[in-house]
Structures are given as C-alpha cells and as structure tokens.
C-alpha cells in the first residue's frame, strides 16, 4: 500500500500509472472528465454520488462520503485530465 502526503499526489500518481499502462488515453480522459462534470453538476444528490462511488472497485473509502465530492473535483480538475479536453 502506498501512502501519499496529499490527495493531489495520489491522484497524479494514479492517473500517470493508468496512462503508462495504456488504461487512460485521450478519449478516455475526455469521457472521464465529462462523467465527473455531470456527476458534480449538482443534478445528483450527495447520496447518489456516494452510491455510485461505493459501486466501484476503488481502493479508497470515505466515511459517510465526507470529502468524496472534493476528491472527485480534484480528479476532474487534474492537469492530466484537463489536457485531453
């Protein structure tokens, strides 16, 4: 298990690893950014966003969803994702 000093560091490392493994090309980045934009648009309740997150195979959990929206915003706004848009 890796330990990061900041969420931004963890996100950047994870996205870089996905890119290096061929799991995140420019089209996938665009789709991810659009998905996160929709998810964070305010059209979905916090409970809905949390339910979607809990349905993934993510290695990170959020107690009662606290910090989840901010974490997803960091992913959406990461430079590795925004470059593809």
Q: What is the pLDDT of residues 41-56, one digit of tens each?
A: 999 999 999 999 999 9
Confidence check: pLDDT of 82 > 80: no
pLDDT band at 84 (very low <50, low <70, confident <90, very high): low
Q: Which residue has the higher pLDDT, 65 or 72?
A: 72
Mean of the pLDDT values across residues 66-78?
92
Tell me how far apart the alpha carbons of residues 40 and 12 are, in angstroms, rounded to a whole number: 20
Where would I find the beta strands (DSSP E) of 1-85?
A: none
Domain-by-domain residue ranges, the chain? 29-85
Which is it for the CA torsion 69, 40, 19, 81, positive or negative?
negative
Where would I find the beta strands (DSSP E) of 17-82?
A: none
Tell me how far apart the alpha carbons of residues 41 and 82 are, in angstroms, rounded to a whole number: 17
Tell me how far apart the alpha carbons of residues 67 and 80 are, in angstroms, rounded to a whole number: 21
Per cent of the chain over pLDDT 90 is: 52
Residue 73 neighbours by CB distance under 10 Å: 13
């Amino acid at each position: 298990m890796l330990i990061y000093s900041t969420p931004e560091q963890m996100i950047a490392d994870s996205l870089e690893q996905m890119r290096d493994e061929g799991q995140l090309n420019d089209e996938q980045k665009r789709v991810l950014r659009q998905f996160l934009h929709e998810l964070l648009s305010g059209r979905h309740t916090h409970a809905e966003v949390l339910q979607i997150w809990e349905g993934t195979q993510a290695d990170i959990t959020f107690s009662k969803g606290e910090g989840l929206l901010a974490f997803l915003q960091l992913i959406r706004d990461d430079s590795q994702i925004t470059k593809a848009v």
